[in-house]
Structure 1
Amino acid sequence: MLMNAGSSIRNFLKSSDFLKSLLVTFGIVLPIIIGISLDMLPYFLSVAIGMFLTSSSDVPGSRRHKSIGILTATLIAMLATIVTTFAAANLYILLPIMAILVFAISFISVYGFRASLISFSGLLAIVLSFAHKQTGIDILIHTLLIGAGGLWSLLLSVSFHPLLQKRQINNGLTECLSLTAKYIRIRGKLAIENTNESNLKTELYDLQVKINDSHESLRELLLNERQTSGFSNFKRKQLLIFIELIDILELSLANPANYERINKIFEHHEKVTDPFIELVFELSNRLEQLALCMGKGKKLTPIKDLEPIINRCRLNIQDYIATVKLPQAREGALLLHNLLDYEEKQLQKIQSIERIYQDLESNRKSSLRNKEGQRFITHQDYDLNILRENFSFKSPIFKHSARLTIAMLVGFSIGIIFSIQNAYWILLTMVVIMRPGYTLTKERSKHRLYGTLIGAGIAAVIVLLTQNTYVYAMLSVISLMLALSFIQKNYRTSSIFITLSVIFIYALIKPDAFEVIEFRVLDTLTGALIAMLTISFLWPAWESSGIKSIIVQAIKANRNYLTEINNYYHHQKDNTTAYKLARKEAFLEMGNLNAAFQRMSQEPKSRQQNLGKIYEIVGLNHTFLAAVAALGTFILSNKNKTVSHSFELIIESIDTNLTQALQTAQNEELIDSIKEDKVAEAYGQLEEKYNELVAIRTQELEREENKPIDPGFRKNLQEARLISDQLKWLVTISGSLKKAVIEFEGKKS
């Protein structure tokens, strides 16, 4: 227990979040110390505020993107500060000005994640303008010093960018390794557990969302920095690890894809698959071990030899054939051979990562050229047309901006009417917790309330035990640093330390700390209540109203993934960029659908329209993606000179099912289906090819009963069986998906 706690603390202290919080805390505290020493605290406090306001926009990315983000946040914070402070002199001017500012600044979020954090800086600037009221020339001085604080933030960010980015990449790879290991482990559990299948699938979907986020962050960090100068050797090796991790995810998604069929074939021979399942868990453990070593920065510890388990897998295949006898055992044996091939490929990928980590592949070149790598980054479009397109109540960001504006005005009015001390805390609470969706707002509200109450309780105990201002000062700095460390990973914990920091800062200024605690809790409750009422009754953004478009995008991405696999199967060029781009989009869109469903399941029961049918669609999409990944990994690994007409016809049938599902969801006229007799004929032709190979093998065994099968011939058998089975399964899944979408649309209407 103590060892685990110690390890967690060490990992936390090594994390990029802690390093960044240390840097931001230093950037805030240093001006305050200088101000106190020079007896010019009010001026240097403005610099500290500027540093605090702009630090939130400093998120992982290239030096250029971070610099532009901080400078933009600085300009918006200055504009918000000077306009709000000047307008504050007249309430009738302030209210409309405040409404325009809040709406305009929050509307910037249409440009993505970094823009939303820049928007957050501007909204914070509006709120903090009410905390430090200025008059006359002091308004201009205060605004310019906030700008100086923004430049100070930029200087620290640029100076420590290499160190911070190195740690962010290392932590990102460590996290990705660990998440992928968990993903493989759950896939293994799904193959053997029937009673807990629903919970395991939910956990699997949640993991895929996290892995997608991890992949996107790593793409931004690894592929978007100094593209013109290329990669350093160190970064090239990190990129190679990342590429292998993506391939491992695809393999784990496809391995094994059809659990039902495996369970059916080996219903009376369960022990046959035991070493295969054991190998899955050992692969997961191996990745987890690698993640631990990378996280600690240590050499890779001695690795368990998996060859004995692989040999047991091979022996079990032979024993199965000897027990069941050919030809009855052939289908199961080929399935096990394919399964073992997948697991051996996973092992090869993991061993490749281990060699890279141990610096044994220092001369290997990255498989992604700079220009090619840029295509894998999700670029944000900053066209002004995006503002125009989103300027309607059809846009979630527009509704969120309008909702936040009204909530802020209501909160501000309550503060004035009831003469609430530090009423800007109400506004601050709303700015921090309100999100475009109900679920996220509800979650942050709960975390904010729990954090505030726990933080207030801890602060009350400390205030009772000591009245020492030096203790308050030290605790306020430590609390601020810890609050910033946890703000992205654990908002509830962050809220505890934010509350502690605020209370200790005010305890330094005001003698009655308990009064500060009382108002802090009251204002937080008021802000959270207003936030929840507005998100529930003002143009509520329920997931059920927008999930159809996410379903459409997921089906489109899966369809495109299948198309690229088909293109590669026909042409089989060395360049797999188009295939990998399609794979990336399919994984991302599936993750988006998983996340949307999770949010929907946490909304009020009355708003969970067709939840069961949507869950079915999510599951079918995930199963289809797994089946496509299985087909894709096999085709990429096995060259084929000719593509049969039957293969093309079945692919066309699958594509037609997906197209009809999309047309149904988009209320379009359906295209004609492929005739069932033609599909059946294509199945027959694929079976015929397989049966011809079986006949050749049967003749060999008739001439020589124990003649070993030629490895190349066995590969042909595996290909014929696997491709035939995968295509049949894809037709079934796509048909079920089409049916589910039709039923979903029928229930809606």
Structure 2
Amino acid sequence: MNYATELRKFATSQYIFSAVRITLAIVAPSIILAYFGVLKEYFLFPLATSFVGLTDQPGPFIRRRNALIFAIICFFAVSVIATLLKDFPPIIYLEIILFGMFFSMIGVYGQRLAAVGSLSLVVLAIFVDGHLSQGNLVKNSLIFLAGSVCYLLVFLVVSKIQPYKLAGQMIGENYLELSDYLKLKSRFYLQNPDFDALYLQVISQQVKIKNLQEETRETVFKTRKIVNESTTTSRLLMLMFLNSIDLHEKLMTSESDYGKIQESFGETGLLESISDYLSKLAEELSNIGIALQSGTKAKSLRNLDDELDQVFDEYFDLRNKKLNPDTLENFMIMRIILLRISDITEQINTIYKVFTQDQKLAKSLSTGLDLKEFITNDEKLNFKVLLNNISLKSTHFRHSVRITLAMLTGYIISQMEFLGIGHSYWILITIVAIMRPAYSTTKHRNLLRLYGTVAGAVVAYAILHTVHNNTALFTILLLSMILCFSFLKAQYSWAVFFMTIYIFLTFNFLNPGNINNIFRDRILDTAIAGVVAFAVSYFVLPVWEHTQNLDFMKKSSKSNAKYFKAAMDFFKDENIGIQEYKLKRKDAIIDLANLSDNFQRMISDPKNQQKKMEQVHQFVNTAHLITAYIASFSQYSKNAKDYPEIDFDSWNRKISAELLRTGLILEQKKFDVDIVEESRLKPEDSVDQLLEKRKKEISESEIMNRRDPNRITHLTELKNLQEILELIYDVAKEQRKVAEKLEPVI
């Protein structure tokens, strides 16, 4: 691992940038208040700032601004109502039920409002029994409101000063994830690879890329300054993001029969050279990503063309020694692999050139796409959406019931005096932080929360017993806050670890000498909340992942069929535009990632809820391969007219029929015999005859030492096209057989 590169990734990321912004928005007013000796009295000010800051999700400026305003309104209303009702215990239970249900249910409108809802429940937890709201109600409410507005003002100022910063960082992160994806692909060429483990990692990485692409697509395509303004930065950012999506497809095309490749070339050393070169390409993608995140211009780390020439030289040397009629097809496969690697190299070189575009050239850049078509439609903010989800069939409603019941249970426990709980609101906060709609996610976060809390408490305890210099403690507090907010999205356990440290230090500054009580309460409250969250998630209206498998399979199967049709139509030049093709590609990748993500969560469900795990795993793998092979097929720059030796019409009907059969089986619909007959068509290709002719030529004449990396024979292209079509059909057939085993209930 290159630690310097990893550090640069982290230091230039949107997470550290956001964390520093939130931390400074909290700390700067706190220092001023502490200077005047009123920090304890005005502690609600920085507390409100932190809550509003945590609701700030990446996305278009207008949506972020509106969500922050909504959060301020919600937090203020909840704090006032909770403070007014704190002396009426019976009403508090009704308050928890109403707020618990409402603020959990608003998650139906998307992740942004789900975050607002969760933090609103945290505000409720803090104010529900008056721990932090003693004194004048009006004064405390205004202090809390002022702290909330403080972050909004910071957000508006920063967004005005750096309007392209978030988009650049998110696009850069796309390239960093593609780099990790390519590193995984490079491992398939190492000696004795564990194919099953690698495929699982590749599928998991596909999920990450899909989620990030969706977030970035919303941010880029719905940011007016990027879409509408003809500035150098806006045009280049748009082009860089679209290039990253195209590059993702190119990386998917590197899918091959790795077992056969290892068998043919495993002992030659060529595969290790390819793996090493792919790792170097991954480093270049990291370099591009870091440059985009930091807002600088990227320069290539090495001469990629020279490095690629060395790989080709090794291939040509091996070809001259080993090529014969028996190995001809193996070398054809390898030649296509190298062609794909050349395409990826050319794409990366093009991306580097984009960084050098000047003002005039940038203004001439145009995508030629209707960008609105690539945005996922969000649920409209109308009351009907909320009402339609008030049903046990709705995962949002079931989650709302669970979280409300868990909060009621946690609150009841916190009121049991014999337990001697000193910071009872920590139980409710931890329940809200842990619980998620999926049992598997709740279970995972529960463990991470426990590990992070225990480790953080031990470290914080040691720090407070060994470090007595306030400047040093304040520095540790500052760093802990930044690291906590930085890791909150990607590394939850580390986020909780640093959160625990800064909470200990904060309480020590506000109330010195109380460390033993804080240590005991933090561990006890986290343990209690963890038990409550686990029990409720397991026993109360659980949503097991296997119940959603069928829907995701249907969507993936249907979108792959449409993706293949679009790719074939585009290849046959049947009046289909590039936009229509890219839309179908986007849908196929999204549905594949959703299916894969659901399967990953299913692995964490209890064993008795992992229904038909083996078949589901096979379906996910075949769906991944179908999408990848279609991507390979779509990469040909020529069209069907240039390859008359292949019967594309028959292949189209054959594969489409097989994909349709799978979809109908999943839908439990009957299909005509004609569809079965279509899937059994035998295309009338003439490739095999040409191949036999070429083998005869090789056996009868001396092999010519041609070493042109850019030259590829027509026969090699034909053989590769035929093989891709065969692979798509074979995997589609395998997927159909898996679907038959899943009948009638998944």
Deviations along 1:297-345, whole A, 9 cap, x unmatched? 575255134446446537745864775445x555444433332321211
CA contact (8 A) 2:83 2:130 kept: no
TM-score (norm: length of structure 1): 0.88
Secondary structure of the equivalent of 1:428?
Answer: helix
Which residue is equivalent to 1:654? 655
Alignment of 1:673-712 (within 5 A): 674-676=675-677, 682-683=682-683, 685-686=684-685, 688=686, 691=689
Residue type at the aligned position of 1:415: S
CA–CA distance in 2 between the matches of 1:603 and 1:277? 36
Kindly state the Cα deviation for residue 11 of structure 1 after the two structures are TM-superposed.
4.8
Map of 1:377 onto structure 2:
375
Measured after TM superposition, the shift of residue 407 of structure 1 is: 0.4
Structure 1 window deviating more from structure 2 (128-137 vs 589-598): it is 128-137
**Aligned residue in 1 for 2:250:** 251
Deviation at 1:739, TM superposition (A): 0.7
Alignment of 1:372-411 (within 5 A): 372-384=370-382, 385-411=384-410
- Cα distance between partner residues in 2 of 1:544 and 1:671: 30
Identity %: 21
Q: Are residue 230 (structure 1) and residue 229 (structure 2) matched?
A: yes
Aligned to 2:552: 550
Q: Deviations over 1:623-677 (max 9, x none)?
A: 111111111112x45463798994233323322222222222233333445355x
Pairing 1:278-289 to 2, within 5 Å after superposition: 279-289=277-287
Contact 1:486–1:493 (CA<8 Å) still a contact in 2?
Answer: yes
User: Within 5 Å, which residues of 2 pair with 1:101-140?
Assistant: 101-130=99-128, 132=130, 138-140=136-138
What amino acid is the match of 2:522? R
Given that 1:400 and 1:435 are in contact with CA atoms closer than 8 Å, whether structure 2 keeps it comes out as yes
Q: Distance in 2 between matches of 1:731 and 1:467?
A: 70
Mind listing any 5+ residue stretches in structure 2 that lack a counterpart?
none
Distance in 2, matches of 1:181 and 1:20, equals 23
- 1:4-403 paired onto structure 2 within 5 Å: 11-36=9-34, 41=39, 44-130=42-128, 132=130, 138-161=136-159, 166-226=164-224, 229-262=228-261, 266=264, 270=268, 276=274, 279-291=277-289, 297=296, 300=299, 302-307=301-306, 309-310=308-309, 313=312, 316=315, 320=319, 323-325=322-324, 330-359=328-357, 363-364=361-362, 365-369=364-368, 372-384=370-382, 385-403=384-402
| Alpha-carbon distance in structure 1 between the residues aligned to 2:665 and 2:478 | 57
Q: Map Cα deviations across residues 391-449 of structure 1 (whole Å, 9 max, x no partner).
A: 21222221111000000001101111236322111001101111111221122112211
Q: Which residue of 2 aligns with 1:599?
A: 601
C-alpha distance in 1 between matches for 2:599 and 2:389: 24
- Give the conservation status (yes or no) of the 8 Å contact 2:239–2:367: no
Contact 2:572/2:639 (8 A) holds in 1? no
Give the Cα separation in 1 of the matches to 2:458 and 2:710: 71
Give 1:722 deviation, angstroms: 2.6
Q: 1:505: which partner in 2?
A: 506
Equivalent residues of 1:35, 1:41 under 8 A apart: yes
| C-alpha distance in structure 2 between counterparts of 1:640 and 1:359, whole Å | 36
**Partner of residue 615, structure 2:** 613
Matched residue type, 2:558: K
Q: Distance in 2 between matches of 1:535 and 1:268?
A: 49
Matched, 1:583 2:585: yes
Cα distance in 2 for partners of 1:113, 1:623 equals 30
SS of equivalent residue, structure 1 residue 633: coil
**TM-score, length of structure 2 as denominator length:** 0.89
User: Do the aligned partners of residues 342 and 466 (structure 1) sit closer, same or farther apart at CA in structure 2, a change above 3 Å counting?
Assistant: closer
The CA deviation string for residues 263-320 of structure 1, in whole angstroms up to 9 with x for no partner, is 56x3798567665555444433443454466667575255134446446537745864
Change (3 A) 1:643 1:675: farther
RMSD value over aligned CA atoms?
3.6
Give the aligned partner of residue 413 of structure 2: 414
Identify the range of structure 1 (538-547 vs 33-42) with the bigger mean alpha-carbon deviation: 33-42
Distance 1:95 1:343, change over 3 A: same
Equivalent of residue 629 in structure 1, options 611, 631, 634: 631
**Could you report, residue by residue, the CA deviation over 1:82-119 in whole angstroms, capped at 9, with x for unpaired residues?**
22222222112221122011111111111221121111
The one-letter code sitting in structure 1 at the alignment partner of 2:251 is: S
1:733 and 1:405 map into 2 onto residues whose CA distance is 46
Change (3 A) 1:38 1:740: same
Q: Distance in 1 between matches of 2:111 and 2:346?
A: 36
Opposite residue 497 of structure 1, the aligned amino acid is F
Equivalent AA in structure 1 for residue 463 of structure 2:
I
- In structure 2, relative to structure 1, the CA distance for the partners of 1:513 and 1:232 (3 Å cut) is same
Contact persistence 1:647–1:682 (CA under 8 A) = no
| Mean CA deviation greater in 545-554 or 733-742 | 545-554
Contact 1:279 1:343 in 2 (8 A): no
SS in 2 for 1:73: helix
Moved more, 619-628 or 480-489: 480-489
How far is 1:204 from its partner? 1.2
3-state DSSP of counterpart to 2:18:
helix
Name the CA distance, whole Å, in 1 between partners of 2:712 and 2:692: 10
Secondary structure of the structure 1 residue equivalent to 2:370: helix
